[in-house]
Structure formats: C-alpha cells, structure tokens
Structure 1
Amino acid sequence: MTSRQGSIIWPVVHDERRALIHDLELLEEAQWQTPSLCVGWNVHDVLAHLVDTAKTTRLGFARRMMAAGFNFDRDNATGVTRERAHDPRLTLAEFCAVSTRTSGPPAPLATRLVEAFVHGEDIRRAVAIRRDYSPAHVATALDYQLRTSVKIGGGKEYAEGLRFIASDGAFEHGSGHEVRGPMIALLLSVSGRPVAVNELIGPGAATLMHRSLS
C-alpha cells in the first residue's frame, strides 16, 4: 500500500462506514433479521462481519487463518459469532467505535472499497434503502474485482468473454458480449450478488448472472 493510495481510499471507506451507520440507526427491530444479499447472513450478521474486518490486523489475520485451518469461510463465521452482540444496537455501537480504523487483512487496499460497497448493498438492498455511490470509487473496486480470481474473492472468471460498459461513468472492460448497467450493479454481479431485473442489460447480462449466482 502506498501512502497516496491510503490517502485516497481510507477517507472513502470511512465515509461509507458513517453513511451505513446513519442508515442502520433507522432500522426497526425486525429488520435486523432480514436475510441480506450475502447468502446465509442476515443484516445483523453482515454488520458483525464489518466490525470484525475493521478490527483485523495483518498479524492477527495470519493467526486466525491458522486457527481456522486456512478456511476463509470458517474464519468469517467465527468472526461474525465473536462480534455479533445479543442486541444489534450494541453491534452497531461497536461499529461506530471502529469506523475510523485503517487496519485490515493483508490484501490490496482496493478490497476495502469492495467490502464497503458490496456489504453496504448487501444490507441496504435487503431493507429497501437506497444510496448513491461515487462512480469513480466504485470503478476502482470494480476494476479490482474484474482482475482478481474468484478463488480469492474476485470475479475474474465470471467476466470471461464479456465486455462491461458502465451506464453512469467512463468505465469499460473486456471484450465479447456486452453487459451494460450502473457500476454498483456491475460490481455486485461480479461479487456473486443478485441484482434487480433489467438493472443489467445486453447480450451478456444473462450469462454473467448465471455464472455469478451458480
């Protein structure tokens, strides 16, 4: 990570955390149990995961992965259990407390943007909250996902043979059958999330959704 990257990305991550806190403060009790876009997790679970990753350090991550037998899903589940308080409001208070941290797993800094945008939408779309994101910063996250293997959390294989064109900014990637739509929808789709019908259009849209959700 360069200092320049950090000076650009971390303020965006912190802004996204603050915006999510504001939105979550408005939730009714039952909404916390709503299934999120992240399969197997409800809204409260996703928040607990965000608390967990905000607290994660490079050294701590190595120790955790050893304890989890180098199984990412097992480590994530352990982190959610650890950080998920009995009352969602307590989990939210803890998220507030860690919202300005600049620590994270040993991964490219763009992953912090991916996490902020994708998990933000995991929650917001589940409870019908809308947020407009900065296309330029979503483009950074999308570009990372398109160049990173699914094996390590990206979506490169989903995008093979497809051309991505953003409808809300200057972003194009790849060649082949066209997939066109808002950058946040493109990002969600290559991150294995469902999007609304007709949110993505073009001859490659159905192929992309089939791959990412299979």
Structure 2
Amino acid sequence: MSARLSSVIWPVVHSERLALIQDLESLPPQQWEAPSLCPGWDVHDVVAHLVDTAKTTRLGFLRRMMMAGFDFDRDNALGVARERTEDPGRTLAGFRAVVDRTSSPPAPLATRLVEAFVHGEDIRRAVGIERDYPTAHVITALRYQLKTPAKIGGGKERAQGWRLVASEAAFEHGTGHDVRGTAKALLLAVSGRPVMPSELTGAGAEAFTQRARP
C-alpha cells in the first residue's frame, strides 16, 4: 500500500464512518431491524459487520479464514455475531470506537471505499436516509468493482455487455447498449444491490437493472 494512496483513502473512509454514525444516532430502535440492501442482513447486522471489518488486521484475517474453513460468508457471519450486541446503542458505540482505525484485511485499499459507500447505502436506503458521496472516490470504488469477479464481491460479470456511463463525471466502461446513471447508482448496481428504475437510463438500463439484482 503506497503512503500516498493511504493518505488519500483513509480520510474518506473515516469521514464516511463518522457520517454514518451521525445518521444512526437518531435512528428509532425498530429501524435497526429493517432489512438492509445486503441480502440476509438487517441494519444492525451491517453495522456489526462494519465494526468487525474495521478491527480486522491482515494477519487476523488469515487466522479467521482458517477457523471458518476458508468460507468467506461463514467468516462474515461469525464477525457479525461477534460484534452485534443486544442493544443497538452498544453496537453503535463499538462502531464509534473504531471510527479512526486504519487496519484492513489483505485486500486493495479501494475495498475500504467500496465498503464505506455500498454498506452505507445498504443501511441508508433501508431507512430512508439520503447522502451524497464524493464522486471521485465513488468512481475509484466503481473501477475496482468492475475489475473484480462477483465471487469475491465484485461486479465484473454483471457489467459485461453494457456501456456504463456516469452522469456526473467523465467515466465510461465497456461496450454495448448504454446504461447511464450517477456513479453511486452504477456502483450499487454492479455490486448486486437493487436500484430504482429511475436511477438508470439508456437503451440497456432495464435489462441491466434486472441482471444486476441479486
């Protein structure tokens, strides 16, 4: 990890963690149980996952994967169970305690942006909160997802066969029928999250939206 890349990305991640904490502070208890955009997880689960990954070190990740039988989904489930408390307020306090950490699993640093933006929307869209993210960094996360296979959390296969065009930035990817939308909407779609039909336009938008759904 280059020092320059680290100095650019971590402040964004820390800022997004803090913003999410601030949004969650006034969340009614029942909304913590709302199904998130992340399949199988409610809002509380996603927050617990964010606490868990913020604590994860490169060496610790390898040890955990061995304990989970190298099953990525099982490791995630164990992490959620470990950090989710009976009281959402305590889980939020746990998130607040790791807001400035810079530990990470052994993965490219762009994955921290993917996590911050996608999981941030997993939660916010479930409870009706809107947020604008820094476009340049969303594009960085989108570029990473587009070159990463779906089996390890990316969206390479979902994007094949379309020309993705960001509406607010100089970004395009691939060939085929146009799919146009904000960088945030494109990031969510290639990450397997549902988006509103109105968020994507172009000749390929309807088919792409259907394919991108989990």
Same fold (TM over 0.5): yes
In structure 1, runs of 5+ residues without a counterpart are none
**RMSD of aligned Cα (Å):** 0.8
Q: In the TM superposition, what is the alpha-carbon distance from 1:80 to its structure 2 partner?
A: 0.3
For residues 32-51 of structure 1, the aligned pairs below 5 Å read 32-51=32-51
- Secondary structure (helix, strand or coil) at the match of 2:127 reads coil
For residues 12-161 of structure 1, the aligned pairs below 5 Å read 12-161=12-161
Residue 213 in structure 1 maps to residue 194 in structure 2: no
Distance 1:157 1:177 in 2: 15
Give TM-score, length-normalised by structure 1. 0.98
Q: In the TM superposition, what is the alpha-carbon distance from 1:175 to its structure 2 partner?
A: 1.1
What per-residue deviation string (whole Å, max 9, x for no partner) do you get for residues 10-67 of structure 1? Answer: 0000000000000000101111000000011000000000000000000000011111
Distance 2:52 2:182 in 1: 29
Q: In the TM superposition, what is the alpha-carbon distance from 1:210 to its structure 2 partner?
A: 2.4
Q: In the TM superposition, what is the alpha-carbon distance from 1:201 to its structure 2 partner?
A: 1.1
Q: In the TM superposition, what is the alpha-carbon distance from 1:206 to its structure 2 partner?
A: 2.4
The AA in structure 1 aligned to 2:120 is: G
In structure 2, runs of 5+ residues without a counterpart are none
Alignment check: 8 A CA contact 2:189 2:212 kept: yes
What per-residue deviation string (whole Å, max 9, x for no partner) do you get for residues 128-159 of structure 1? Answer: 00001111010000010011111211100001
Distance 2:146 2:203 in 1: 18
Q: In the TM superposition, what is the alpha-carbon distance from 1:116 to its structure 2 partner?
A: 0.1
Compare 44-53 and 194-203 and name the one that shifted more: 194-203
The AA in structure 2 aligned to 1:121 is: E
Alignment check: 8 A CA contact 2:37 2:123 kept: yes
Q: In the TM superposition, what is the alpha-carbon distance from 1:197 to its structure 2 partner?
A: 2.0
Q: In the TM superposition, what is the alpha-carbon distance from 1:208 to its structure 2 partner?
A: 2.1
Q: In the TM superposition, what is the alpha-carbon distance from 1:99 to its structure 2 partner?
A: 0.7
Distance 2:24 2:212 in 1: 28
The AA in structure 2 aligned to 1:177 is: H
- Secondary structure (helix, strand or coil) at the match of 2:15 reads helix
Alignment check: 8 A CA contact 2:197 2:206 kept: no
Identity of aligned residues (%): 69
Distance 1:103 1:211 in 2: 34
Q: In the TM superposition, what is the alpha-carbon distance from 1:104 to its structure 2 partner?
A: 1.0
Give TM-score, length-normalised by structure 2. 0.98
What per-residue deviation string (whole Å, max 9, x for no partner) do you get for residues 52-91 of structure 1? Answer: 0000000000011111111111000000000001100000
Q: In the TM superposition, what is the alpha-carbon distance from 1:211 to its structure 2 partner?
A: 2.3
Compare 4-13 and 171-180 and name the one that shifted more: 171-180
Q: In the TM superposition, what is the alpha-carbon distance from 1:171 to its structure 2 partner?
A: 1.2
Distance 2:170 2:87 in 1: 43
Number of matched residues?
214
Distance 1:198 1:191 in 2: 18
